[in-house]
Copies of this chain bind each other. A is one copy, B any other.
Amino acid sequence: GSKKLNIDPYSIMWNRVVDVSDSALRNIIIGLGTKADGRPRQTGYDITVASEIMAILALCSDLKDIRKRLGRIVFGTDKNGKPLTAEDLGVAGAMAVLMREAIMPNLLQTLEHTPAFVHAGPFANIAHGNSSIIADRIALKLADYVVTESGFGADCGMEKFMNIKCRISGLRPNCVVIVASVRALKMHGGGPRVVPGRPLDPAYQQEDLQLLEKGLPNLIQHIENARLFGVPVVVAVNKFTTDTPGEIEMIKDAAVKAGAEGAFTSEVWAKGGAGGAELAEAIVAACEKPTNFQFLYPDDWTIKQKIEAIATKIYRADGVDYDAEAERKIKLFTDMGLGHLPICMAKTHLSFTHDPAIKGAPRGWRLPVRDVRASVGAGFLYPLCGAIRTMPGLPTRPAFVDVDIDLETGRVIGLF
């Protein structure tokens, strides 16, 4: 039983998780009541996509590997500071049984019947944000070219793809495709705020080369970041009907100047596969080029060196400030022999910085790290940058209030 483990209740690093945005569960006290109801303890819930189990699912290679990783999870320490694992707790076997069928990827198809795996859901802001290694491996056996998505901004998903997923899988990319749009770049250039549900500002719907130009440094930083890993870069411009040839041209010029192979429009949303043919050809060509893949940091750097490498080279911060709790954890994890693990930054994807409101390609700022946690089973440490939360909140008007069932037809309404 758990008593013999002599668990230090203050050392517990695992939260419960739930798959709804229940912000009232972020900070809770459990175990109130009588002796039979546990012991009182401050804890909280994370959202399921931030669970270490989700990361393990996406990073494991097979059943044996997930069993091993689940057993390796460190949930806390005993009162002498010795790390305690899921194996110590006797739950790793049961966890593996629950995950036994989950590790098999789901094969779906597009409207044009192209096969696609949809497998694993770690968000790229609060987790490592990539599709599963197992799905990629199966895909590589089945197809000549495999496109795998790394979520959110390339400072989030792509950086973690390179430094975490490639490190664990041993696989190497032949090409990076960065998706951009005129609208998004205008927003990074300082365009009016975009609010869901409100009509889009005209600035985004008519040519505004000056605004677009102000936003280009954001794209350029992403291209430069991708080039750091020694892989060719192609930019895909997700074309809207209101984009003008002048705007597209401006993006293309900037992309090439920043080191990309080129920038190509995609109209897949309107024309299906045909709408991406030119882009696809360019990607195929880029994949022929030699690569010189390299990680941003080696395993044997200190935790702080790794964090600061990402902060300064990818985000372009001047440096990193650590809260006392972060300092304490870095020391703890180093002492626990976890210093060799790669880093999975938990940071907003809405900015290169920790502050979602700061757009473009900011310089002259410092990254605050308020805490660091360890996912030993998944195989990384994750610093919490700024106010990033592992349990999101709902918008003021949650989407569920619009959802209902049409009782005449039995159909669901209000989802879109």
A contact residues vs B (CB 8 Å cutoff): 1, 8, 10, 18, 23-42, 63-64, 67, 90-94, 96-97, 100, 321, 323-324, 368, 370, 386-387, 393, 396-397, 400-401, 403-405, 407, 410, 412, 414
Contacts and interface: CB of A to CB of B under 8 A. Distances in A.
A63 B28 contact: no
Given A63-B407, A404-B94, A405-B67, A31 B37 contact: no
Nearest to A100: B405
Contact of A1 (B63, B397, B403, B412): B397
Contact of A30 (B10, B24, B64, B393): B24
Chain copies in complex: 4
What is the predominant secondary structure among interface residues of chain A facing chain B? mixed
A40 B38 contact: no
By CB atoms of chain B within 10 A, which of A25, A64, A93, A405 has the most? Answer: A405
Given A28-B29, A63-B410, A93-B414, A41 B40 contact: yes
A100 B413 CA distance: 12
A42 B36 contact: no
B27 A32 contact: yes
Contact of A10 (B18, B24, B35, B92): B35
B32 A410 contact: no
A23 B34 CA distance: 11
A93 to B, nearest CB: 3
A23 B35 CA distance: 11
5 smallest CB-CB distances across A and B, nearest first, come from A93-B404, A24-B38, A40-B40, A27-B32, A27-B33
A23 B10 contact: no
Given A26-B38, A27-B33, A324-B386, 5 more contacts: A26-B33, A29-B40, A97-B403, A97-B412, A324-B368
A394 B28 CA distance: 22
A27 B42 CA distance: 11
A286 to B, nearest CB: 40
A38 B22 CA distance: 9
8 contacts: A1-B397, A27-B33, A28-B29, A28-B32, A29-B32, A29-B40, A94-B400, A97-B412
A407 B32 contact: no
A328 to B, nearest CB: 10
Given A64-B407, A323-B323, A387-B324, A393 B94 contact: no
